[in-house]
Amino acid sequence: PADGPAAADDKGEAYWRDRMRPLRERLDSVRALADDTKRRAEVLMRAADRCFMIGVVCADYTESLRLTEEHKVLLADVAHAEQDVAALEEEARRAGVPPGWLRE
């Protein structure tokens, strides 16, 4: 069979699910990593605040800052993964694919 948008109507449910699955898995994975990184940064910052209260600078502060920066990068990855999912949803919509075919 031919490939490309014109041939999309010839693709079955398995084809669309197989294309969407890795996109959703990536989105779920990067979201979970971003959430975990944010949580770890917040825990370390609370620990660093306790150090500051007694007049000590601890490594938790530096690690918290690093994780906060990492979280920003991960948020951009989440946005890209969301765009990838949305783009495939739009492609499927234009091809007349039933929305249920893209769900798991």
Write the pLDDT tens digit of every residue in 29-42.
Answer: 999 999 999 999 99
Q: What is the pLDDT of residue 54?
A: 83
Return the number of other C-beta atoms located less than 10 Å from residue 92's C-beta. 19
pTM of the complete model:
0.78
Residue 45 burial by CB count (10 A; 0-12/13-18/19+): exposed, middle or buried?
A: middle
Higher pLDDT, 15 or 1: 15
Task: Supply 93's token pair.
Answer: 């919509």
Return the number of other C-beta atoms located less than 10 Å from residue 28's C-beta. 11
Residue 50 has pLDDT above 90, yes or no: no
Q: What is the pLDDT of residue 52?
A: 80
Q: Rounded to an integer, what distance in angstroms lies between the CA atom of residue 63 and that of residue 73?
A: 15
Q: Do residues 5 and 94 lie in contact, with contact meaning Cβ atoms separated by under 8 Å?
A: yes
